[in-house]
A and B are shown apart, each in its own frame.
Chain A
Amino acid sequence: MIVDAHVYLGSCLFGYGQSLDEVRARMERLGIDKAVLVPVKPQDYHLGPANELVAQVVRTHPDRFLGLCRVDPWQTEAAVSEARKGFDEMGACGLYLDPWEENFQANDDIVSPLVEEARHRSKPVVINAGHPRVSHPTQIWDLACQFPDVQFVACNGGQINICGLLLFEARRMMEACANITVQTAGTYREDFLEEIASEVGEERVIFASRSPVYDQEFEMARVRLAHLSESQKDKLWSANALALFH
């Protein structure tokens, strides 16, 4: 079974996007059984309708899709209300925070009330991680320490740096915080993912493509070709994600 733990749905302000038909056709072609849908930031900046679009798809195809609720911490009380609505009315399986596109620091105080909402419901918080200044591994690490009973999922292997300089910090983050899992999408250096799965914990890595930001087929190859055992890969492909998102 293959679960893609991060697939964007909708047309994004920043130029990327995909329709449900495109998502489903590619899942069919690539043999992906299930996807966690993530709302994009739309042209009109309003995340509410983007969350509703994801929720509708999940309601219609509960066997194929799960959905995250995306909120902008700068919306303060309105964001908290949106998160509550996402969990209690729209069936969101987790919260999505994007410090890069919403322009806030991942460990800022404005994030805390939102993480509290996730904590009350035992839902994970997915963060677009690895962006210098807003979601550096040390900032994700700091946030995870503030909420040790919340599960966090860091996109991009927790680090985006083609120099390799963030590999050290991301590894330290993973060793220090048992409540952080990393996604495979776009990760610099496959040996980083292999080492996290083999040396830190095989339950700490999940397959995700962040399609269409990254190429879903290429991101599958990243896992398929990894130097891991088949049982470890089974966990990356689906078991770890299914344990987190429900």
Chain B
Amino acid sequence: MIIDSHTHVDKVGWYDPPETILRLMDEAGIDKSIIMTYGDAPDVEGSLEYIAEAVQKYPDRLIGYARLNPGRGEEAHRLFEKAMEEYGFKGLKLHPVGNLCHPAGAETIEIIELACRYGAPVLFHCGDEELTLPLQIAQAAEECPEATIILGHMGGYFHWKDAIRVAERCENVVLDTSALPYPQAIREAVDRVGSRRVLYASDGPGCDPSLEVHKVKMAHLTPEDEEAVFHLSIETILDKVTNSGDRS
């Protein structure tokens, strides 16, 4: 069983209909993928609906996250509530490069707290760019200890050691393996924070899910750890999600 914790479906910009990721999932032997757009709602009109339609069309294969611009305040909150309660989404995606909101800025903290009410994980783009560095996102993780904060790409090319250090420091931080080009970083992450806090992810379809699966296998994990990375860890996170928002 493999669940890909970070993939993209979108109708604007990088055009990737759901069938593109499904084809690559089949090639790689991936059972389910978490999908999100490349752009933020509500800045990109209809983006949440596009994800909702894809999930509705392929309910056994696709799981939706809402990518939102926290700077849109109440409007973003209403959209997240709608995504969770009407569309059955399972998480929140934040990409500070796109919306210029600091990961620990007041507007971001407010929407993370809203995600907490649903027990929903918050997946941050976490790379080498300003506003996305692991030590910047750590400030949000420390301010919201109840939140599950996922560092997508676990710090990218130059900041993966920071990402592991942040995960050691903050128990609510989880690492996703997508796109970074170092199999040994996955092994080090598992050794230092445990496989239950590391998620297989591809950042497909641009990044090839088959290659990303191969990367995890090259980390030479124990069968138990590999199973956790490939699906058990994200299943545990998603099991805590409630779509009624009454978790607290």
Contacts and interface: CB of A to CB of B under 8 A. Distances in A.
A217 B182 CA distance: 11
Q: What class of interface size applies to chain B in its complex with A?
A: 20 to 34
Given A162-B127, A162-B153, A163-B127, A188 B183 contact: no
A163 B156 CA distance: 9
Interface in B203-240: 203, 205-208, 210-211, 214-215, 218
A165 B97 contact: yes
A221 interface: yes
B183 A190 contact: no
B58 interface: no
B205 A191 contact: yes
A163 B153 CA distance: 10
B208 A163 contact: no
A221 B97 CA distance: 30
B219 to A, nearest CB: 10
Interface string A224-235: 011100000000
A236 to B, nearest CB: 15
Interface in A179-217: 186, 188-192, 214-215, 217
B156 A162 contact: yes
Contact of A215 (B127, B183, B207): B183
Interface residues of A, number: 22
A163 B125 contact: yes
B181 interface: yes
Nearest to B97: A163
Interface string A117-151: 00000000000000000000000000000000000
B211 A215 contact: no
Contacts of B181: 186, 214-215, 218-219
Contacts of B211: 190, 221-222, 225
Interface string A55-68: 00000000000000
B177 to A, nearest CB: 12
A161 interface: yes
A49 interface: no
B244 interface: no
A31 interface: no
Contacts of A217: 218
Contacts of B203: 189
Given A162-B128, A215-B183, A218-B181, A190 B206 contact: yes
A221 B214 CA distance: 8
A218 B97 contact: no
Interface of B: 14, 97, 125, 127-129, 132, 153, 156-157, 179-184, 203, 205-208, 210-211, 214-215, 218
Given A161-B128, A189-B207, A221-B215, 10 more contacts: A160-B128, A160-B157, A162-B127, A186-B157, A189-B179, A189-B203, A215-B181, A215-B184, A218-B183, A222-B211
A162 B184 contact: no
A170 to B, nearest CB: 13
B208 A218 contact: no
16 contacts: A161-B128, A161-B129, A162-B180, A164-B206, A189-B206, A190-B208, A214-B182, A215-B182, A217-B218, A218-B183, A218-B218, A221-B214, A221-B215, A225-B208, A225-B210, A227-B208
A71 B181 CA distance: 27
Contacts of B179: 162, 188-189
Contacts of A186: 157, 181
Nearest 9 pairs of A and B residues by beta carbon: A162-B156, A189-B206, A162-B127, A190-B208, A186-B181, A191-B206, A221-B214, A225-B211, A225-B210
A162 B157 contact: yes
